Every structure is written in C-alpha cells, then in structure tokens.
Chain A
Amino acid sequence: MDNQQRENSRRRFLRMAAIAVPAAVAVAVAPNAAAEAVSSDAPKSSGLRDTEHTRKYFESARF
C-alpha cells in the first residue's frame, strides 16, 4: 500500500468514526491554549513544581 492509499484509508476510517466537533464548540474552546511555541529563549527547566494539585497530593500522602 503506498502512502496515498494509506492516507486515504486513514481519512476514511476517521470519517467513519464520526470525528466532528461543531463550530460552536470549536469557537468556545479556542482561547485557552496551555502550550505555546518557544519564542527565542531556550526553554528553562522548572524542576519540581509547587502547584495546588501537587500540594494537595503531598498533603494527603503525609504520614
């Protein structure tokens, strides 16, 4: 199977799986991106993060 055939069968499979999100939802979800492309700076390592989730977890894990 060549690449074009493979691509076509993949698209057909996805269509049959009924993957579709109405435009109303697509608009509603747009402005909330969690990740972004790195600009010019090198990504800095942030190490272990102190967040609400991790704090709660560590609290619960304490003896």
Chain B
Amino acid sequence: MANTAEVQCPRSINDEDRARAQMYQLLGVLLSGPPTGELLHGLASLQGDDTPLGSASKKLAALAERTKPQDAEREYNNLFIGISRGELLPYASYYLTGFLNEKPLADLRSDLMARGIKASEDIKEPEDHISTLCEIMAGIIAGDFECDSGLASQKAFFDAHLAKWAALFFTDLEKAQTAIFYTPVGSLGRAFMEVEADAFAL
C-alpha cells in the first residue's frame, strides 16, 4: 500500500498541548509496566495545587517518594497480571463488552490503520490496553504520527476509544484493593480524563 501522506514538519504546539501530551505519556508509561527507580525519583518532584489534578499530583509525589521499585513492581503485577488474572483488566474491549478482543478492539485497529499508526513489535498486549491508548493520544497531540494532529482529530480519537470507559477504569484503579502507589495514579488519570472531556466540549 503506497503511503500517500505528505511528510510534514513536526507540529509546533503550545505549552498547554505539550503538557497534555506529557500527561498522556506519563499515564501510558505508568500503566504499561512497573515504574523504574528513575521514574519514581522524577515523580517525587511532582507539584500541584488544590485542583483535582493538582492534589492527585501531590499525592502521587508523596507516594513515589517512599515507594521502592520492587514494591511498585509487586503492586503492578497484583493489579494487572496476577496469579490467575490481575485485579483489573485495563482494556477498552473488556470495559465496554465484558470480553477481551471484541469489537472495540476491531474498531480501534481499523482507526489506527486509517491513521497510519501501528503498535511497536515488542508490545504484546492488544492495542486497546489503556497504556497504549494514552501513548497514542500523546503521539497524536505531539504530531508524532502522519495523521492529522489537530484538535478535531484528537477529539475523534478520544471520543471513539477513551471517553466511554477510561474514567471508569481509573476510578476502579483508585479503589483497587491491592493499590497503594497506584491509587493516586488512578486519581490523576480520572481527573485528567474529566479535564480532557470538559476541554473537548468547549
């Protein structure tokens, strides 16, 4: 298939959009695997004010400060891998249909194909994993892909693949029994999804 999209200069983005892309990227990294010591160290410097997003950031910083990488890894495994299964299944398909690899994944795959985006070879989860969706949003906002990176394109992806379930998943993460470090990750994600939904509605 010939790739007819023109090569474009990297989009110059404003500070707010860069911050959004970084927030998606951060959530993507935190949910794709246990945090490294380096990431925990970086998270400990997060600051925030009294907005929901700010207070979640502060709680995350406080927990990152006192969480060891091996503890975070055990927690990640309990939450998302488990002995038989993790406490949570962070897939769009599961949240929307009750089963993995159902129509929401198929819809996502055709959207990604239309946008010229594919998962890296070394990513083993189905693409509708929350971490992959967050990283794709980050990439669309930052203009990393050849597809349209404008607001309408971002909104279309958000509405189609995140709006119906991501806030619910982050709420579940916030309340998960085995979560400690990941509790404020859930709060941060939930608050951010609410901000995104409201901002797209403006």
A binding-site residues for B, Cβ under 8 Å: 6, 9-11, 13-22, 24-30, 32-38, 40, 42-43, 45, 48-49, 51-54, 56-57, 59-60
Instruction: Looking at the assembled complex, report how far the CB atom of A20 sits from the nearest CB atom of chain B, in whole angstroms.
Output: 5
Instruction: Looking at the assembled complex, report how far the CB atom of B111 sits from the nearest CB atom of chain A, in whole angstroms.
Output: 11
Interface size class on chain B is: 35 or more
Q: Which of B83-116 touch A at CB < 8 Å? A: 84-86, 89, 91, 100-101, 109, 112-113, 116
Which residues of B are found within 8 Å of A48, using beta-carbon distances?
Answer: 101
Q: Which single member of A13, A45, A56 contacts B85 (CB below 8 Å)?
A: A56
Q: Is B9 an interface residue (CB 8 A)?
A: no
Q: Is B168 an interface residue (CB 8 A)?
A: no
Most buried by B among A34, A42, A49: A34
Q: Could you list 21 A-B pairs, sorted by A, with CB under 8 Å? A: A9-B202, A10-B202, A11-B16, A13-B199, A14-B195, A17-B53, A17-B199, A19-B20, A19-B192, A21-B19, A25-B46, A28-B39, A34-B32, A35-B119, A37-B117, A37-B145, A38-B146, A49-B101, A49-B124, A52-B124, A53-B91
The reply to whether A24 and B202 contact each other, CB–CB distance below 8 Å, is: no
The reply to whether A38 and B117 contact each other, CB–CB distance below 8 Å, is: yes
The reply to whether B144 and A37 contact each other, CB–CB distance below 8 Å, is: yes
Chain B residue, CB-CB nearest to A39 = B3
Q: Mark B136-179, 1 if CB is under 8 A from A, else 0.
A: 10010000111000010000000000000000000000000000
Which residues of B are found within 8 Å of A11, using beta-carbon distances?
Answer: 14, 16
Q: A54-B100, A56-B85 are in contact. Are A35 and B118 (CB under 8 A)?
A: yes
Which residues of B are found within 8 Å of A38, using beta-carbon distances?
Answer: 3, 116-118, 146
Chain A residue, CB-CB nearest to B192 = A19
Q: Mark B168-202, 1 if CB is under 8 A from A, else 0.
A: 00000000000000000000000010010011001
Which residues of A are found within 8 Å of B119, using beta-carbon distances?
Answer: 34-36
The reply to whether B47 and A25 contact each other, CB–CB distance below 8 Å, is: no
Instruction: Looking at the assembled complex, report how far the CB atom of A31 sits from the nearest CB atom of chain B, in whole angstroms.
Output: 9
